[in-house]
């Protein structure tokens, strides 16, 4: 089994998010890495989103490339995050990556977790 490229991909990244991801991966010396985006149980609202560099996708992962940034997402996270847009803001207060998750019924005040 191989990772599959899905079109349309369940999530989208803004230009600001792509630029910041490139900076972070370069700073970590991981320019060739994939970025895993997903969800896991946790946070104050039930689920929290996860972003971390990985060397390779898992066999059942969905894979896409956004201006040189390779994103992988597992099928279960893809269902939850379908239609999500990831943005980045460098604001001093409230800055960082922001997930606009259409299926979320509620998000915590800091934006790090959500419920369905």
**Domain CATH code at residue 27:** 2.60.300.12
Structural domain count of the chain: 1
* Host domain of residue 36: 4-115
Q: Is 68 left (phi over 0), alpha (psi -120 to 50) or beta?
A: left
Cβ-based neighbours of 109, under 8 Å, separated by 6 or more: none
What secondary structure letter does DSSP report for 26?
H
* Furthest CA-CA distance within the chain: 44
Render pLDDT for 16-73 as a digit per residue (tens, 0 to 9).
999 999 999 999 999 889 999 999 877 666 778 889 999 999 999 999 999 999 999 9
Banded pLDDT at 86 (limits 50, 70, 90): very high
Banded pLDDT at 108 (limits 50, 70, 90): low
| Lowest-pLDDT range of 36-40, 50-54, 84-88, 93-97 | 93-97
């Amino acid at each position: 089994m191989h990772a599959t490229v899905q079109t349309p991909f369940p999530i989208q990244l803004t230009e600001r998010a792509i630029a910041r991801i490139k900076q972070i991966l370069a700073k970590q010396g991981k320019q060739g890495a994939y970025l895993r985006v997903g969800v896991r149980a946790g946070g104050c609202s039930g689920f929290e989103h996860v972003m971390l560099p990985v060397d390779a996708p898992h066999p059942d992962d969905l894979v896409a490339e956004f201006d040189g940034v390779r994103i992988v997402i597992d099928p279960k996270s893809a269902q939850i995050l379908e239609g999500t847009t990831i943005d980045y803001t460098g604001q001093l207060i409230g800055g960082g990556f922001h997930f606009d998750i259409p299926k979320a019924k509620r998000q915590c005040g800091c934006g790090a977790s959500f419920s369905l």
